[in-house]
Structure 1
């Protein structure tokens, strides 16, 4: 578009040069554009546009303009340069140029107007400024009818801006695997990952490195954190043993493949080598647990536990800062973070007073384990029928919780798809 504007202006100047050359031939026989010729060519194009779009006003020298005319609001007048200008209230200003005080009126539907706006957007704003900046620079010389609309159209149709400001391509998310949707006790299907290293103070003055072994339930989003010190296999095996002792329903564990950690820290690669050691394999096989490794170089397969890694690292960094805690203090902090993450809502939080509170992973853990489902009142059932009713109500509550989790998960993943 800018090239066409330049060609049009040069063509106009070339015609004028040809007439002059016929009268006074150049010694070299070549035609070179001068600044005066380019300015005159520009003025000629502007006069041609105004005569085409404002023919009646141009012939009448902008006198006796009707109120229904689109130029009436601009109080136009014909200047000595043969162009129609807008008479503004800045006419008597001494520090402004003539075009700033009385800008040249141009129609919005003219192609030359779009070329001028395109030139300002590309050469003066460098594709970076917004509509207001282009309008400000345009107003230095011209008053464009429906200027804001034209500027918006030009910027939105700019190929360079669309290339750099275009939205990133997105793919539809695939269906969730079956183990993410099936109803099962907490941590039946678990995701496992490491976070760290985190520095801690030993009993001596030395500073050691510790790692958090994260276990995530694929359905309830509950987490369990185990702190491992240094890098021996016995630490990983001990953390795994404590986790299974607490949650005996574990049947499958999904974790990263060490091949996907090529760019990670060397310590993390060593940790995953411990996971695949013969001792860990034997322990997992004896517990009838299937350990699955995701596809190499495809970390999105483990997104359901990778997201939880960020959920524990953010508060831990803010709590510790640059401090180096003792190992016991670090364990206390990690247990608090585990409680906090398990208390986050996994269903929609409603603001109504009559709506049941949102479910959290802690509710599901307590419901299945039966650790905190204790009635507030002190009355005890006197008859067996009361006990049966209480058991039935408890079972109904668990079924309601399970249904709410399934429905909320289905709605959430449908919206993401």
Structure 2
């Protein structure tokens, strides 16, 4: 298994490195008319801090560039512009957000490209059909859905408005950020849990210490709590992420010119198309993770970007 990326090991302020995804939609009641309730749809953009796994959720009214930029602006206004943003570029962003017009390693939509360059952000897109590369934020979406589905089951559909949904999203955010990152300890010297909310709000019971100045100077107390969080984060939490339970043996990289079989969940295996590798992109550890493939079908040549998990090597060059 590959080493953790640098942005997963950073002890910079929360939401310096972010992974995001869009999920939804939900039908809400916008207004009441004589013919009944007028309904509309809402989606949500979930921002996940890649280091402390804190989340932030913003509602959007439409799946277009304007609504998405407004969600980014609200997030930046609260937490500041991040240095790095990661997201999917397949069924989650490119496929679901058709109006966003985002392609691999680039932002073709002028307003999106201009806004990101003004904020000094770097955006890295995963290749299509590689949701496993965004497991950090995909897991948070699964947790959010479980909590939100339970809350919505307690509310009548006719009473679900934009304000109610926005309130529910805030409560979901608070619940997720209050979850413990490590197993609960029985040690009496650790009276509080290591949670994302601890570093976000600093509202926890002050642990025992000998420095009397911490009681009278608030900024020293806050700094002390932050230092305790990052110390425990390194000692207790990082060790749980570094275990390698499989893929211990090194395999040869896929090279340009290899003939591969392209997985297609919509077709039977004997109908999967053959493709030629025209570009193999290695990661920082030297292992190839992304491929550019050329597929010829019925005289038409098409180019696809896929992760190595979506291909089967038939013949090496």
What TM bracket, shorter-length normalisation? 0.5 to 0.7
Matched, 1:317 2:145: no
Q: CA RMSD in A?
A: 2.9
Q: 2:6 aligns with which of 175, 178, 181?
A: 178
Change (3 A) 1:346 1:386: closer
- Determine whether 1:303 maps to 2:135: yes
- Equivalent in the alignment of 1:201: 29
- Does structure 2 retain, via aligned residues, the 8 Å contact 1:186–1:249? no
CA contact under 8 A between 1:232 and 1:274: conserved in structure 2? no
User: Are 1:192 and 2:27 matched, yes or no?
Assistant: no
> Which protein is bigger by CA-based radius of gyration?
1
Task: Name the SS for the 2:12 alignment partner.
Answer: coil
Q: CA deviation at 1:195?
A: 0.8
Shift of the 281–356 alpha-carbon distance from structure 1 to 2, 3 Å rule, reads same
Return closer, same or farther for 1:386/1:408 CA change in 2, 3 Å cut-off. Answer: closer
Query: For 1:265 and 1:388, how far apart are their aligned partners in 2?
Result: 49
1:329 — aligned with what? 164
Contact 1:253 1:292 in 2 (8 A): yes
Residue 343 (str. 1) matches residue 178 (str. 2): yes
**Is 2:71 the counterpart of 1:239?**
yes
Kindly indicate whether residue 195 of structure 2 is the aligned counterpart of residue 360 of structure 1.
Answer: yes
Distance of aligned partners of 1:292 and 1:329 in 2 relative to their CA distance in 1, 3 Å threshold = same
SS in 1 for 2:23: strand
Contact 1:252–1:290 (Cα < 8 Å) also in 2: yes
TM-superposed deviation, 1:247 = 0.8
2:236 counterpart residue number? 408
Give, in whole Å, the separation in 2 of the partners of 1:265 and 1:411.
Answer: 32
Query: Whole-Å Cα distance in 2 between the matches of residues 387 and 353 of structure 1?
Result: 22
Please say which of residues 390-399 and 239-248 is displaced more in the overlay: 390-399
Gaps of 5+ in 2: 207-211, 246-317
**How far apart in 2 are the matches of 1:350 and 1:180?**
24
Hey, what does 2:60 align to over in structure 1?
A: 228
**Partners of 1:365 and 1:407 in 2: CA distance:** 19
Once the two structures are TM-superposed, the CA of residue 348 in structure 1 deviates from its matched residue by 2.4
Q: Which has the higher strand share?
A: 2
Offset, 1:192: 0.7
Residues in 2 aligned to 1:235 and 1:289: alpha-carbon distance in whole angstroms:
18
Contact 1:214 1:309 in 2 (8 A): yes
Equivalent residue, structure 1, for 2:111: 279
Q: Secondary structure at the match of 2:173?
A: helix
Q: Which has the higher helix share?
A: 1
- Tell me if structure 2 keeps the 8 A contact 1:349–1:357: no
Q: Is the 8 A contact 2:94 2:101 kept in 1?
A: no
Aligned counterparts, 1:88-167, within 5 A:
none
Distance 2:214 2:198 in 1: 24
Kindly tell me: are residues 386 and 206 of structure 1, through their superposed partners in 2, closer, same or farther at Cα, counting changes over 3 Å? Answer: closer
In structure 2, do the counterparts of structure 1 residues 244 and 394 end up closer, same or farther at CA, with 3 Å as the change threshold? closer
Return 406-415 or 335-344, whichever deviates more: 406-415
Could you say if the C-alpha distance between residues 245 and 212 of structure 1 is closer, same or farther in structure 2, counting changes exceeding 3 Å? same
Q: Give me the TM-score of the superposition, normalised by structure 1.
A: 0.50
* Cα 1:392–1:232 shift into 2, 3 Å: closer
* Equivalent-residue separation in structure 1 for 2:121 and 2:241 (angstroms): 28
Count of residue correspondences: 230
Match of 2:43, SS? strand
**Cα distance, 1:397–1:329 mapped onto 2, change above 3 Å:** closer
Cα distance, 1:177 vs. partner?
0.4
- Between the aligned partners of 2:219 and 2:151, the Cα distance in structure 1 is 43
Counterparts of 2:156 and 2:219 in 1: how far apart (Å)?
49
